[in-house]
Structure 1
Amino acid sequence: MKGFKIDDGGDIVIEKGKIAMVDDTDLIAQTVRQILKTNIGEWEFDTAEGIDFSRILTKNPNYDLIRDTIQLGLRQVDETFVITQIDFRQHDRRLFIDFKSTTSDGTEISISL
Protein backbone atom coordinates (compact mmCIF):
# COMPACT_ATOMS: atom_id res chain seq x y z
CA MET A 1 0.00 0.00 0.00
CA LYS A 2 1.16 3.55 -0.72
CA GLY A 3 0.16 6.94 0.60
CA PHE A 4 1.05 10.61 0.25
CA LYS A 5 4.13 11.64 2.22
CA ILE A 6 3.21 14.10 4.97
CA ASP A 7 5.70 16.48 6.62
CA ASP A 8 5.87 17.33 10.35
CA GLY A 9 3.41 20.18 9.82
CA GLY A 10 0.80 17.86 8.28
CA ASP A 11 1.29 19.10 4.71
CA ILE A 12 1.71 16.88 1.65
CA VAL A 13 5.34 16.81 0.49
CA ILE A 14 6.08 17.88 -3.10
CA GLU A 15 9.39 16.73 -4.62
CA LYS A 16 10.44 17.69 -8.13
CA GLY A 17 6.94 18.92 -8.90
CA LYS A 18 5.25 15.65 -7.87
CA ILE A 19 3.54 14.45 -4.71
CA ALA A 20 6.03 12.33 -2.77
CA MET A 21 4.82 8.88 -1.76
CA VAL A 22 5.56 6.55 1.17
CA ASP A 23 4.94 2.84 1.59
CA ASP A 24 5.56 -0.14 3.83
CA THR A 25 7.03 0.65 7.27
CA ASP A 26 7.33 4.38 6.50
CA LEU A 27 3.60 4.54 5.75
CA ILE A 28 2.75 2.69 8.96
CA ALA A 29 4.96 5.02 11.04
CA GLN A 30 3.45 8.09 9.33
CA THR A 31 -0.09 6.82 10.02
CA VAL A 32 0.76 6.21 13.69
CA ARG A 33 2.20 9.74 13.99
CA GLN A 34 -0.95 11.25 12.47
CA ILE A 35 -3.20 9.35 14.88
CA LEU A 36 -1.06 10.31 17.89
CA LYS A 37 -1.23 13.97 16.79
CA THR A 38 -5.03 13.88 16.56
CA ASN A 39 -7.16 14.57 19.62
CA ILE A 40 -9.99 12.05 19.72
CA GLY A 41 -13.17 13.54 18.27
CA GLU A 42 -11.23 16.24 16.41
CA TRP A 43 -11.47 14.77 12.90
CA GLU A 44 -15.01 15.19 11.62
CA PHE A 45 -14.83 12.22 9.23
CA ASP A 46 -13.93 9.73 11.98
CA THR A 47 -14.52 11.03 15.49
CA ALA A 48 -13.17 7.79 16.99
CA GLU A 49 -9.71 8.36 15.47
CA GLY A 50 -7.00 9.79 17.68
CA ILE A 51 -6.07 9.76 21.35
CA ASP A 52 -7.30 11.60 24.44
CA PHE A 53 -4.86 14.52 24.79
CA SER A 54 -6.10 15.28 28.30
CA ARG A 55 -4.30 12.14 29.50
CA ILE A 56 -0.98 13.55 28.27
CA LEU A 57 -1.28 17.34 28.55
CA THR A 58 -1.12 17.66 32.32
CA LYS A 59 1.17 19.18 34.96
CA ASN A 60 1.85 15.85 36.64
CA PRO A 61 2.05 13.22 33.90
CA ASN A 62 1.08 9.65 34.74
CA TYR A 63 3.52 7.67 32.58
CA ASP A 64 1.51 4.44 32.78
CA LEU A 65 -1.59 6.26 31.55
CA ILE A 66 0.40 7.90 28.75
CA ARG A 67 1.80 4.53 27.69
CA ASP A 68 -1.72 3.06 27.64
CA THR A 69 -2.98 6.03 25.60
CA ILE A 70 -0.23 5.59 23.03
CA GLN A 71 -0.99 1.87 22.91
CA LEU A 72 -4.65 2.67 22.12
CA GLY A 73 -3.50 4.91 19.26
CA LEU A 74 -1.21 2.19 17.90
CA ARG A 75 -4.04 -0.32 17.94
CA GLN A 76 -6.03 1.96 15.62
CA VAL A 77 -3.42 1.19 12.96
CA ASP A 78 -2.80 -2.49 13.76
CA GLU A 79 -4.44 -4.47 16.58
CA THR A 80 -1.22 -6.44 17.13
CA PHE A 81 1.03 -3.45 17.91
CA VAL A 82 2.89 -3.81 21.20
CA ILE A 83 5.16 -1.15 22.72
CA THR A 84 8.55 -2.78 23.22
CA GLN A 85 10.39 0.25 24.59
CA ILE A 86 9.32 3.69 25.78
CA ASP A 87 11.31 6.59 27.24
CA PHE A 88 9.99 9.83 28.72
CA ARG A 89 12.00 13.05 29.13
CA GLN A 90 10.80 16.34 30.56
CA HIS A 91 12.45 19.63 29.69
CA ASP A 92 11.08 23.16 30.22
CA ARG A 93 7.51 21.98 30.84
CA ARG A 94 7.61 19.79 27.72
CA LEU A 95 7.34 16.04 27.65
CA PHE A 96 9.31 14.15 25.02
CA ILE A 97 8.34 10.57 24.27
CA ASP A 98 10.40 8.07 22.27
CA PHE A 99 9.10 4.58 21.71
CA LYS A 100 9.51 1.44 19.65
CA SER A 101 6.66 -0.83 18.76
CA THR A 102 6.30 -4.12 16.92
CA THR A 103 3.42 -5.91 15.19
CA SER A 104 2.82 -9.65 15.14
CA ASP A 105 4.32 -9.87 11.63
CA GLY A 106 7.58 -8.30 12.87
CA THR A 107 7.07 -4.77 11.57
CA GLU A 108 8.94 -2.42 13.91
CA ILE A 109 8.56 1.33 14.08
CA SER A 110 10.32 4.00 16.15
CA ILE A 111 8.53 7.26 16.92
CA SER A 112 9.60 10.44 18.70
CA LEU A 113 6.95 12.84 19.96
Structure 2
Amino acid sequence: MLTIKLDDVGDIEVASGKLLMISGPDEIAQSCRLILGVQKGEWFLNPDLGIDHQKFLGKGVSRDEMQDEIMSGLLQEPRIQTVNAIEFNFNRQLRQLVVSFTATGVNGEVITVEGVEIGG
Protein backbone atom coordinates (compact mmCIF):
# COMPACT_ATOMS: atom_id res chain seq x y z
CA MET A 1 0.00 0.00 0.00
CA LEU A 2 1.25 3.48 -0.81
CA THR A 3 0.64 6.13 1.84
CA ILE A 4 1.85 9.52 3.03
CA LYS A 5 5.07 9.39 5.04
CA LEU A 6 4.98 10.78 8.58
CA ASP A 7 7.96 11.89 10.65
CA ASP A 8 8.74 10.76 14.22
CA VAL A 9 6.20 13.16 15.74
CA GLY A 10 3.42 12.37 13.26
CA ASP A 11 3.77 15.35 10.96
CA ILE A 12 3.48 14.86 7.20
CA GLU A 13 6.89 14.85 5.52
CA VAL A 14 7.40 17.20 2.59
CA ALA A 15 10.47 17.56 0.39
CA SER A 16 10.83 20.18 -2.33
CA GLY A 17 7.16 21.06 -1.93
CA LYS A 18 5.98 17.49 -2.54
CA LEU A 19 4.51 14.96 -0.15
CA LEU A 20 6.78 12.02 0.55
CA MET A 21 5.21 8.60 0.11
CA ILE A 22 6.15 5.19 1.52
CA SER A 23 5.17 1.58 0.92
CA GLY A 24 6.20 -1.95 1.85
CA PRO A 25 7.77 -2.75 5.23
CA ASP A 26 8.33 0.96 6.00
CA GLU A 27 4.62 1.66 5.58
CA ILE A 28 3.69 -1.32 7.80
CA ALA A 29 6.14 -0.09 10.45
CA GLN A 30 4.57 3.38 10.31
CA SER A 31 1.11 1.86 10.72
CA CYS A 32 2.31 -0.09 13.79
CA ARG A 33 3.80 3.06 15.35
CA LEU A 34 0.49 4.84 14.85
CA ILE A 35 -1.48 2.00 16.46
CA LEU A 36 0.80 2.01 19.52
CA GLY A 37 0.30 5.77 19.84
CA VAL A 38 -3.49 5.53 20.07
CA GLN A 39 -5.16 5.12 23.46
CA LYS A 40 -7.72 2.31 23.14
CA GLY A 41 -11.19 3.86 22.95
CA GLU A 42 -9.82 7.23 21.81
CA TRP A 43 -11.06 7.07 18.23
CA PHE A 44 -14.85 6.93 18.13
CA LEU A 45 -14.95 5.29 14.69
CA ASN A 46 -12.96 2.31 15.96
CA PRO A 47 -12.96 2.11 19.78
CA ASP A 48 -10.92 -1.14 19.72
CA LEU A 49 -7.98 0.48 17.91
CA GLY A 50 -4.82 1.07 19.92
CA ILE A 51 -3.52 -0.04 23.29
CA ASP A 52 -4.41 0.67 26.92
CA HIS A 53 -1.71 3.15 27.96
CA GLN A 54 -2.82 2.85 31.60
CA LYS A 55 -1.12 -0.58 31.70
CA PHE A 56 2.23 1.22 31.39
CA LEU A 57 1.76 3.73 34.21
CA GLY A 58 2.41 3.61 37.93
CA LYS A 59 4.31 1.30 40.22
CA GLY A 60 4.13 -2.46 40.08
CA VAL A 61 3.62 -2.56 36.32
CA SER A 62 4.06 -6.10 35.03
CA ARG A 63 6.50 -6.56 32.18
CA ASP A 64 4.39 -9.49 30.93
CA GLU A 65 1.23 -7.34 30.85
CA MET A 66 3.08 -4.60 28.98
CA GLN A 67 4.43 -7.11 26.47
CA ASP A 68 0.98 -8.63 25.97
CA GLU A 69 -0.55 -5.18 25.42
CA ILE A 70 2.12 -4.22 22.85
CA MET A 71 1.66 -7.55 21.08
CA SER A 72 -2.13 -7.15 20.95
CA GLY A 73 -1.68 -3.67 19.50
CA LEU A 74 0.76 -4.83 16.84
CA LEU A 75 -1.48 -7.71 15.83
CA GLN A 76 -4.25 -5.19 15.09
CA GLU A 77 -2.28 -4.45 11.92
CA PRO A 78 -3.61 -7.19 9.58
CA ARG A 79 -0.32 -7.36 7.68
CA ILE A 80 1.58 -8.49 10.80
CA GLN A 81 1.73 -12.27 11.11
CA THR A 82 3.95 -12.68 14.19
CA VAL A 83 5.70 -10.48 16.72
CA ASN A 84 9.24 -11.80 17.13
CA ALA A 85 10.74 -9.56 19.81
CA ILE A 86 9.75 -6.62 22.00
CA GLU A 87 12.28 -4.54 23.94
CA PHE A 88 11.52 -1.98 26.64
CA ASN A 89 13.84 0.89 27.49
CA PHE A 90 12.97 2.80 30.66
CA ASN A 91 14.38 6.28 31.18
CA ARG A 92 13.60 6.90 34.83
CA GLN A 93 14.89 10.50 34.78
CA LEU A 94 12.54 11.49 31.97
CA ARG A 95 9.85 9.05 33.18
CA GLN A 96 9.68 7.69 29.67
CA LEU A 97 9.09 4.22 28.21
CA VAL A 98 10.41 3.53 24.73
CA VAL A 99 9.53 0.34 22.88
CA SER A 100 11.33 -1.33 19.99
CA PHE A 101 10.09 -4.44 18.22
CA THR A 102 10.65 -6.84 15.37
CA ALA A 103 7.76 -8.54 13.59
CA THR A 104 7.17 -10.65 10.52
CA GLY A 105 4.65 -9.60 7.90
CA VAL A 106 2.22 -11.90 6.14
CA ASN A 107 4.49 -11.89 3.07
CA GLY A 108 7.54 -12.85 5.15
CA GLU A 109 9.04 -9.35 5.30
CA VAL A 110 10.79 -8.35 8.53
CA ILE A 111 9.50 -5.17 10.14
CA THR A 112 11.80 -3.53 12.66
CA VAL A 113 10.82 -0.43 14.60
CA GLU A 114 12.89 1.37 17.22
CA GLY A 115 12.09 4.17 19.60
CA VAL A 116 8.29 4.25 19.95
CA GLU A 117 7.47 6.32 23.03
CA ILE A 118 4.51 4.91 24.94
CA GLY A 119 2.22 7.23 26.83
CA GLY A 120 4.24 10.31 26.02
After TM superposition, the score normalised by the length of structure 2 is: 0.83
Q: Higher relative contact order at CA 8 Å, sep ≥6: structure 1 or structure 2? A: 2
Question: Closer, same or farther in 2 for the Cα pair 1:63/1:81, shift >3 Å?
Answer: farther
| Percent of aligned positions that are identical | 35
- Backbone CA RMSD of aligned residues: 1.7
Q: Within 2, Cα distance between the matches of 1:61 and 1:81?
A: 27
Deviation at 1:87, TM superposition (A): 2.0
Counterpart secondary structure, 2:48: coil
Question: Closer, same or farther in 2 for the Cα pair 1:6/1:79, shift >3 Å?
Answer: closer
Deviation at 1:53, TM superposition (A): 0.5
Counterpart secondary structure, 1:40: coil
Which consecutive segments of 4 or more residues in structure 1 shift more than 3 A? Answer: none
Deviation at 1:95, TM superposition (A): 2.3
Q: Within 2, Cα distance between the matches of 1:68 and 1:97?
A: 13
Q: Within 2, Cα distance between the matches of 1:60 and 1:42?
A: 25
Q: Within 1, Cα distance between the matches of 2:50 and 2:85?
A: 21
Query: Are the counterparts in 2 of residues 71 and 81 from structure 1 also a CA contact under 8 Å?
Result: no
Once the two structures are superposed, residues 48-105 of structure 1 have per-residue CA deviations (whole angstroms, 9 ceiling, x without a partner) of: 2111111122333311111111111111112753221222222223223221111342
Name 1:23's counterpart in structure 2. 23
After TM superposition, the score normalised by the length of structure 1 is: 0.87
Once the two structures are superposed, residues 25-59 of structure 1 have per-residue CA deviations (whole angstroms, 9 ceiling, x without a partner) of: 11100000000011011123322211111112233
Counterpart secondary structure, 1:102: strand
Structure 1 gap ranges (5+): none
